[in-house]
Structure 1
Amino acid sequence: MKNIRNAFMLGLLLCSTIILKAQSTEEVLSKHQAAMGSPEKWTSVKSLVMKNKFSVQGMDIESKTSILVGKGFRTEVEVMGNKIITAINGETGWMMRPAMMGGTGEPEQMPGDQVKLAASQKNIGSTLINALKDGAKIDLVSKEKLDGADVYLLKVSKASGEESQVYVSASTYFIVKVTGKLKANGQEVDTEVNFSNYKAVDGLYFPYTMETASPMGGMMTVDTVSIELNPNIDVNIFAKPTK
């Protein structure tokens, strides 16, 4: 009888832990959504133009990103008088790189794995909220310290099998870091992106500073110069140019 009672109590404890964890995950996600701005307002954003600046090996570089939410994405980067273009048009993608950067100077079809990697950039807003909308499983793993501050660590598991770790500030409920593994050119690559300096644009919050891996090695800081919501964007800029 004692063993049965102990087993019953253990079962209740496990169930309580699972329920508490589920409630905690929902609470963190709810507070994160509230911090980012009204869901209705995010839904009303159909297009975006963002301008950034960053430095690589002493070179000051500017970029412009145009997004038609869910439809197209295009980034233009000016480097030493040369233009690098990356674009997603629906389910396909193309890019244009100068010869000095391994390209041909002509529009090239983007490999399938790179299209898959870049496709998420057709969407805007929170990585967590977008993953939730896409049916990903999100679990609260722990509450811990990151650079001396309290954060919640959440694990995002997508139906494709991809997993990432998202760190949410326990004070602001903004995302401060995302890590994971991505497949590029047949290889699995570790990724890490840090976010900070959140600012409001028409009541919606965006990180204006992002730190990520530099193509030249080490980390680089990308600063946002401006964000324009719902500008008119010609859909033809996402289509691959013909010769």
Structure 2
Amino acid sequence: MRKIIYLTALIAFTSFSFVTTAQTADEILAKHQDAMGGAENWSKVKSLVQQTKFTVQGIEIQSKASILVGKALRTEMEIMGNKMIQVIEGDNGWWIRPQMMGGSGEPEDMPSEMVKISKNQEAVGSLLLNAKMEGHKIDLVNKEKLDGADVFVFQVTKKNGDTGQVYVSASTYLILKVMAKVNMAGQIVDSEMRFSNYKKLEGLNFPFSIETASPMGGGMMQIDTTSIEINPTLDASIFAKPTKK
């Protein structure tokens, strides 16, 4: 009986090894890049404006992100008539939070941890390919099932030691899920995001639906993109920190 169990395990391991090595990490990443629209097309994107909406505890929230690719990000959210603004430019950030969200309603410097978490949003396109271009370590570690479908699992190890897992569809080569550990006010929090409803705009693939944990607890929250504008003209002044009133 032990020999049968051993043989079964050996066959399973051998078959699994064949599957995972049938395609190398570089081959999968190349197909992923093609599925996203190609490196050349993404390199032409210099600015982007994205409108989204989501619901938290029955309250619908509208959000607008204005991005100067690789340089600056401005996010505006309307919550029960109150506007929250967050801006990241380089290694610095500022925000305006209404009193209902623990702020003063005046421009304030953003905590360095928040800047660190938000900074990668200055990039557009695939976070996996962006990580590769930034020189972070990317390893193909597994092939498994996600919601019944085959996915390739990559581990991304950043230069600062942060790690995350990226799940790439074995059929479409698009990212379906990202898991990471995020430092929030000194506490390590597990983060999960699921991507779906991909649509092509000007030959580029965008996930129009993102599912993530609700900041209020009680399960997952879906964020839906309502519009994307590629290469709009953005006034640099919208990223400048205003003076207090």
TM-score normalised by the chain length of structure 1: 0.90
- What is the CA–CA distance in structure 2 between the aligned matches of 1:149 and 1:155, rounded to whole Å? 19
Residue 214 of structure 1 deviates from its aligned partner by 1.2
Q: How does 1:141-160 map to 2 (within 5 A)?
A: 141-160=141-160
2:10 alignment partner in structure 1: none
Matched residue type, 1:171: S
Alignment of 1:102-181 (within 5 A): 102-181=102-181
How far the C-alpha of 1:236 sits from its partner, in A, is: 1.2
Q: Is the 8 A contact 1:21 1:140 kept in 2?
A: no
Moved >3 Å (runs of 4+): 20-23
Cα drift, residue 80 of structure 1: 0.6
Q: Provide the residue aligned with 2:81 in structure 1.
A: 81
User: Which range is displaced more, 233-242 or 127-136?
Assistant: 233-242
Secondary structure of 2:86 counterpart: strand
Structure 1 residue 155 displacement after superposition: 0.5
Task: Show the counterpart of 2:93.
Answer: 93
Offset of residue 142 of structure 1: 1.1
Q: Residue 224 of structure 1 corresponds to which residue in structure 2?
A: 225
Cα distance in 2 between the residues matched to 1:213 and 1:112: 23
Alpha-carbon distance change, 150 to 22 in structure 1, aligned in 2, over 3 angstroms: closer
2: CA distance between counterparts of 1:22 and 1:30? Answer: 15
Q: Which residue of 2 aligns with 1:213?
A: 213
Shift of 1:184: 1.6
TM-score, with normalisation over the residues of structure 2? 0.89
Partners of 2:102 and 2:202 in 1: how far apart? Answer: 40
Secondary structure (helix, strand or coil) at the match of 1:156 reads strand
Shift of 1:187: 1.1
Deviations, residues 61-118 of structure 1 (Å, cap 9, x unaligned):
1110000011110110001100011110221001111101111111110011111111
Q: Which residue of 1 aligns with 2:55?
A: 55
Question: Is there any run of 5+ residues in structure 2 with no aligned partner, and where?
Answer: 1-16
Residue 29 of structure 1 is matched in structure 2 by 29
CA distance in 1, matches of 2:83, 2:21: 48
Amino acid at match of 2:227: S
Output the CA distance in 2 between the equivalents of 1:22 and 1:43. Answer: 30
Q: Percent sequence identity over matched residues?
A: 60
Cα distance per residue 1:104-140 (max 9 Å; x no partner): 1111100111111111111101011000000011111
- d(CA) in 2 for partners of 1:191 and 1:56? 17
CA-CA distance at 1:238 after TM superposition: 1.1
Q: CA–CA distance in 1 between the matches of 2:65 and 2:129? A: 21
Q: Which amino acid aligns with 2:213?
A: A
Tell me how far apart the structure 2 counterparts of residues 82 and 126 of structure 1 sit (CA, whole Å): 32
The alpha carbon displacement at 1:229 in A equals 0.3
Query: How many aligned positions are there?
Result: 225
Cα RMSD after superposing both structures: 1.3
